[in-house]
Structure 1
Amino acid sequence: MATPHHRLTNVCSALMLAVALPATAQQTSNDSDNTILPDEIITVVAHRQARALSEVAGTVSVLSDAELERDLVFNASDLIRYEMGVELDDTTHRFGYSGFRIRGVGGNRTAIVVDQVAIADRFAVGSFSDTGRGLLDLGLANRVEILRGPASTLYGSDALGGVVAVQTLQPEDVLTTEHQGTRVRLGYGSDADRGYGRVATALSSGNHSLLMAAAVSHNDEVEAKGLEGDQLDPQKTVQRAALLKWHYLTDQGELKLSFDALREQRDSQIKHSLGTGRQASTTALSGDDERYEWRAILSFDSAATAFYDQGQWRVFLQQAQTQQNSFEERGRLAEPVSIFRGFRYDYSNYGAAADLEFETQLLGLSQRIGYGFEWSQAEVWDERDAWQFNQVTQQTTKTLLGETFPLRDFPRSKIQELGLYLHDEIKLWRGGPTVSPGLRYEYYDLATQADELFDLRYPNTAVTDLTHTAWLPKLGVLWPLGPQAEWFAQYARGYRAPPFADVNVGLYYPQFRVLAIANPDLKPERGYTFETGLRWRAKNTELTLTGYHNRFSDFIDSRAAQGFDPQQQLLIFQSVNRDKVVIEGLELSWKQQWNRRWESQLWLDYSQGEDRTTGQDVASVSPPSMLAEVNYAAPSGAWETRFILRAQQGQKQLYNVDDEALYAAPGYATMDWLVQWFPSHQLQVGAGVFNLADRKYWNPIQVGNYPQDDPIIPIMAAAGRHVKATVNYRF
């Protein structure tokens, strides 16, 4: 290992855990015995119960509704624009958002929950099928919390890298009087000629309250610096979302019913790759994609009982459906052909959960004990269809590259998961440390269903059912160092069960003599995180320093080549486990209030990753980066302005499995200028100029897996100088 690694490991072992967040919390004393002060920032994601950030032995970002408006957030890209160590997984313009990457761990390894319910995982196969991950339109979100690092003790499988928790609007967020309120938001962004609108209305009478909200957005293809409009891949995207909530307050607690729905349509033309590589003979390629999802949640926020002081019970049902159609013209062939490819993916999920908590005295020690369960059952299936029409012979075939359509990539599958968790916060003595042990039992069962289509297409492919159990511990320590500082430390274990599409694979190309086989011995992926840091605050200063060391083992390599089987005369592919990956880093945040008008903030992020098997750097880990902000607020409070500098070091040279050089994004620095104007208590106007210097740059994560000469690289560049504006009105 290189010397910098040893230095970093030594620093991490000496540092202490802190929440790397520009916190605005004020605290007079750490002896308040679980009392949350009015000005403290509250988080729910860290313990599944409300806590002040000063009580959390973990790294959490909390983005309130006011911050979402202040940062001109339209979508997921805007959401994490100023979040150090958090990025989007997107590597293509066509299929939309595929999830979040936290501290170098992304894909389905980062849990995304909406109103405490986990959304569907992403599934992708080939170049024409990718479900992405349906993120509820952020116009209907009122709060987003990001928990960094393995969180499987509380959130089970898929929380290997962390958790992004979205809370949608509540009636009380919209009410402006005792009985009613309305919020209207309009927005525009020139980077994709995007328009956005949202309206939310709330009514309250007696013990009942009702919320109705809807949002719609429309945008064209995202601009890329250095390219004209006819050099981009044209795309039209329309997204519509709706939210309905009813709350009923009783003597026993509050009953809540929520329903949300999202429909997204994308029409794309893929021009960048025409005439190159596998599409050397292609003269036209377009996509018509649609995603629809809905979710219903019935929850009960219970008053105290003999078994707990507070808690939430909930049942839920959700469905997501993806339909993607691709149309290709291969006009450069001697006999031109037209090709259609269709892909459908259906996901349905229902379950029940409870999060409960009580305070007690045991062995003379003050304790807060949280416990609960999560049970869910999901059913998934996909289907691909295709045909090819020969324009000369006028013949149509449903066999392409040896595959006969329709077909499935995996048999219909049912997944059952059960998690039981218990955690405690034990205050050892007044003013002393709080120790937070936790443990979860996780049960995962994958069962294949009878599937005539899969059996017909892959008669020689064996499938397997899979059952795994795991014990997932964590241990945190929070030690006040006087009234102005805390020391944090945490150990946590992460876990991700083997996905259905990796256990059972449908892949057989007879003309290429290729066969994929199931792997009944596939192990879960596991992660181990160690965090330590300090947080210090004074009247006008807040400083946080965090170090972390994450180890991951048994990462799943999907459909990896296993060599040639002389008995079957076939090249065998199988999903297998790989050895250890280590990711470690440092995070620093500093916030300074210079006077009543001027404020500055600084964030620094340094991380590195190594595949211990190959000794290579991990491509999913971003280069070091920084963000600096200067904020000026007018004495009247009628407006404020912010200048934000973002900078990132260039990506190291990386190579693929064939030792071919991948594209290494150069370093960059860009400036944004944002303004908020408050003409009245009811009206707020925001505007921003982004990439003020009109720089050309790339996000390393989005382009890091492409060859250096891939034609997609130019269109993946970030937008040049562009503007955004919003108007928010309440009445």
Structure 2
Amino acid sequence: MKFTHRGGVALAVALVCSGAHADDFDGETLVVSGARIDQPLEDVVGSVSVIDDSTIEHQMANDLQSLFRYDPSITSTGAGLSPQTLTVRGIGGNRLVYIKDGRRSNDGYAGGGGYLVGRGYFDTDGIQQVEVAKGAASSLYGSDGIGGIVVVTTKDPADYLTNKDHHSAVSLGYDGQDNQRHANLTGAVRLDDWQLSAVLTHRESAAAQNYSQTLPDYDARSDSVLLKGTYSLDKHRSVKVTLDHYTQSNEQVLEAGANQTDDEDVSSALSLDYASTAPAMLWDGWQGQLYVSRYTQDSNQIRAASGGATDFNDYRFEQDIVGFRGVFNLDIEQQQMSHALVYGLDLDVYETRRPRWKTQRDAEGNLVFERQRQAAFPGADTTMAGVFLQDTINMGQWRWVLGGRLDHYALNAINDPLYDNAAMQDIRETAFSPKLAVRYTVNPQLSAYIQYVQGFKIPPHDQAYQSHGVEPFYRILPNPALNAEESETVEAGVQWYGDDVHWKVAAYYSKFDNFIETALVGTEPTYIPGVNTLIYQYQNIAQTRINGVELSSQWWLGQDLTVTMNLAYSDGENNDTDQPLTSISPLQGSVLLSQQWQQWQLTGALRFARAMNDVPDDSSGNALIKSHGWGVLDVFASYRTEDWQLTFGIDNLLDKEYVPYERIAGQAQGTALEQYTQPGRNVSARVRYTF
């Protein structure tokens, strides 16, 4: 099986080198990821990717994978209603902070196939924009932000109402990748000083298939409810109440009564926000938030066991979070310079539980044991507290950004007779994360910058206290002696914001100390001849480095034709072993050509990747699996009237068979690739009526 792509890389390099801006941005785009308050994207020092609501609508993006498919610096695993994981510049999982409407999202835990179960459970309907700040965000957002931050902002009632008193819309859609059908109802109303909105979405789908459509199927459905109410106390002060609820269920029956799974994920959050623009001595305005959230996963599995017995497993993951935010801003004008200060505090308290039970019946259906507790990792209580300050100093053509954050972290394992409590020691960490950046503006269009940031990542509860296995094959030992991961990143870039062309080139180098990975720490003989128990433990790697270059551009060729291009190259290595990292992707890129014609918008999108040959060796010194290059062409078309919007898309127009390296990284040479191939040609459509 061979996957080839000719010409795409050469075309992208030629176009990007002629001029570049990557992110479909204009001067009106406001982001919060660079300073915790709204600021124009072009004022941010560093790299930020933004996906706005119009792009989501036009490309019919309905999950993490489809949101970022044309940004080569951000890769993903999973699709549709399956678990999904984002990786930014080779760093992913719990090393990324997920923020939705100011709230921290729940943690995830390692699942099968490299997925991070427990994240990505939100709906794209109602989203205003998604920002991804690339690189360590610990100086503003605290621990977990060693790899970057994903900020999801949903629409407020005012975004629907603008100059009217009510808004209603209904939409129906279909996604061919996973045979998904969905319906959405959105409404908003103005009642005196109140503005209210509701977004309701229902989705039903099957599994996202491989190219030959041979993967086991399942039935999935999701329901989301987003309710918001804003109230103006006066012209300077307002409050907002948000109720955000999402539930998703997946049911798979491979063999009734012997191999079937029923999963349900539920995420709920309630938040109260206060915003004031009334100035005081120490601030020009401030924002506060108090929120509570709860995430639960309930996985009920039936599995055939040895001797004709049947296991009935009830596996759960539960996490409650209570959080508080206070963010203050103050502008100071002086004769030769100005200061834009942002400072504040965060407090988040987590309660995490991982209960697991097993019931077994023998071949005759007799009860062998009932609800026997199974080990994974004990419950843990986590407290994260941080204070931060960032000063943006403007001095003529120079802009300096000086920032820092002090974090304290406490992890307390719950005493549990199922575990060796002596190995479940409490963990305390305190760290300071600085940031220093400077940008020089050559002229109103051209500027250059360089920044230095440090990251700090606490050891997560599931890695520190992991204590389970599948006897007699493997066992995972806890390691409460894990050190916090730390990083240093230097990024330099040049950007041009002209009337008809935007382009940007950024290069970065990141060094990670105490990177946490699994390690084989021993073996033990078993009662099965020739089979040893493999003993693993999460341990720190002394040093890892990742570096890369990103080029991006956007051209406006006349008023109606736009060309957008992106290219990303990265390289990473475990410095302890001189082996490449499996989280690094090959050279990747995209080229999008979009034409506006009267009420139509037409887009052709090429995404591509080079072959991946720089792979690590296994324990025997044999190279792990490599990947071939590939190129895929997608097309989209939208037709809009005052009340109607019709959108149609074809993914993989030329019906190419291909395997992204991210799906097979770390596996042995010779692994069968059929199950990892991506869907062939498929169509999607959506219709929306506003009244």
TM above 0.5, yes or no, is yes
Q: Measure how far apart 1:247 and its partner are.
A: 0.3
Between 637-646 and 588-597, report the one with greater CA deviation. Answer: 588-597
Match of residue 299 from structure 2 = 324
Match of 1:391 in 2: 363
Distance 1:463 1:289 in 2: 29
Change (3 A) 1:215 1:95: closer
- CA contact 1:464–1:503 (8 Å) conserved in 2: no
1:416 matched to which residue of 2? Answer: 383
CA shift, 1:508, in A, is 7.0
Alignment-derived partner of residue 31 in structure 1 = none
CA 1:408/1:729 → structure 2, altered by over 3 Å: closer, same or farther? same
Q: Is the 8 A contact 2:278 2:285 kept in 1?
A: yes
AA of the residue aligned to 1:84: P
1:618–1:117 distance in 2 versus 1, CA, 3 Å: same
Instruction: Report if the CA contact (8 A) 2:380-2:411 is conserved.
Output: yes
Q: Deviations over 1:355-401 (max 9, x none)?
A: 11110146853111110110010101111122333316x554449xx
Match of 2:16 in 1: none
Is the 2:83–2:117 contact (alpha carbons within 8 Å) kept by the matching residues of 1? no
Residue 473 in 1 paired to residue 434 in 2? yes
Q: Is the 8 A contact 1:95 1:130 kept in 2?
A: no
Distance of 1:94 and 1:204 partners within structure 2: 35
Q: Which one is further off, 713-722 or 689-698?
A: 713-722
When residues 377 and 284 of structure 1 are mapped into structure 2, their CA distance, relative to the original with a 3 A threshold, is same
- Given the alignment of the two structures, is residue 598 of structure 1 paired with residue 556 of structure 2, yes or no? no
1:80 to 60, 68, 73: 68
Contact residue 210 and residue 679 of structure 2 kept, 8 A: yes
| 324 and 513 in structure 1: CA distance in 2 versus 1, 3 angstrom threshold | closer
Per-residue deviation at 1:21?
Answer: 3.1
Counterpart position of 1:8: none
The equivalent position to 1:574 in structure 2, one of 537, 540, 543, is: 537
Deviations 1:60-93 (A, max 9, x none): 1222111111111122221111122111244xx7
Residue from 452, 464, 474 that aligns with 1:491: 452
* Contact 1:503–1:519 (Cα < 8 Å) also in 2: yes
For residues 302 and 291 of structure 1, what CA distance do their matches in structure 2 show?
36
CA shift digits 1:153-194 (9 cap, x unpaired): 111111111111111121022226521111222211122111
CA contact (8 A) 1:629 1:644 kept: yes
Residues 670 and 389 of structure 1: CA distance in aligned 2, closer, same or farther (over 3 Å)? same
> 1:246-645 maps to which residues of 2 (within 5 A)?
246-251=229-234, 252-269=236-253, 285-306=259-280, 307-329=282-304, 335-361=307-333, 364-391=336-363, 395-398=366-369, 405-428=372-395, 430=396, 432-450=397-415, 454-455=416-417, 457-459=418-420, 462-507=423-468, 512=472, 517-558=477-518, 560-563=519-522, 573-634=536-597, 637-645=598-606
Give, in whole Å, the separation in 1 of the partners of 2:310 and 2:523.
34
C-alpha change, 1:504 and 1:214, in structure 2 (3 Å) is same
Query: Does structure 2 conserve the Cα–Cα contact (< 8 Å) formed by 1:425 and 1:436?
Result: yes
The one-letter code sitting in structure 2 at the alignment partner of 1:412 is G
Q: Which position in structure 1 is the counterpart of 2:611?
A: 650
CA distance in 2, matches of 1:580, 1:98: 27
Structure 1 residue 581 displacement after superposition: 1.4
Q: Secondary structure of 1:677's partner?
A: strand
Name the residue aligned to 1:694: 655
Q: Is the contact made by 1:582 and 1:610 (CA closer than 8 Å) also made in structure 2?
A: yes
Paired positions, count: 664
Matched-pair contact (CA < 8 Å) for 2:295–2:320: yes
Residue-by-residue CA offset, 1:529-587 (whole Å, 9 max, x unaligned) = 111111113321111111111111111124x3323699xx9976432211211111111
Aligned position for 1:13: none
How far, CA to CA, are the matches of 1:508 and 1:237 in structure 2? Answer: 29
Matched, 1:193 2:175: no
Letter paired with 2:592: E
How far apart, in 1, do the equivalents of 2:594 and 2:675 lie? 33
Alignment partners' CA distance in 2, 1:247 and 1:438:
32
Partner of 1:275: none
2:55 is paired with a residue whose SS is helix
Using the size of structure 2 for normalisation, the TM-score is 0.91
Q: In terms of mean alpha carbon deviation, does 256-265 or 694-703 score higher?
A: 694-703
Distance, in Å, in 1 between the alignment partners of 2:25 and 2:115 is: 44
User: Is 2:208 the counterpart of 1:233?
Assistant: no
1:62 paired with 2:50, answer yes
Structure 1 range deviating more: 210-219 or 176-185: 176-185
- Note the residue ranges of structure 2 that are not aligned, 5 or more in a row: 1-18, 526-531
Output the CA distance in 2 between the equivalents of 1:639 and 1:513: 59
Q: Which residue of 2 aligns with 1:723?
A: 683
Q: Distance in 1 between matches of 2:533 and 2:505?
A: 54
Inter-partner Cα distance in structure 1 for 2:105 and 2:535: 33
Give per-residue Cα distances to partners, 1:388-442, cap 9 Å, x unaligned. 33316x554449xxxx9313422221100001000001112x2x11100100001
Q: Does 1:155 align with 2:130?
A: no
Distance 1:727 1:159 in 2: 38
- Secondary structure of 1:139's counterpart equals coil
Selected match of 2:630 from 653, 668, 678: 668
Q: Which moved more, 1:129-138 or 1:51-60?
A: 129-138
2:373 is paired with a residue of what secondary structure?
coil
Q: Distance in 2 between matches of 1:311 and 1:462?
A: 44
Secondary structure, aligned partner of 1:702: helix
- Normalised by the length of structure 1, the TM-score is 0.86
Aligned-partner Cα distance in 2 for 1:408–1:520 = 17
Deviations 1:324-381 (A, max 9, x none): 1222235xx7x42322222011100101111111101468531111101100101011
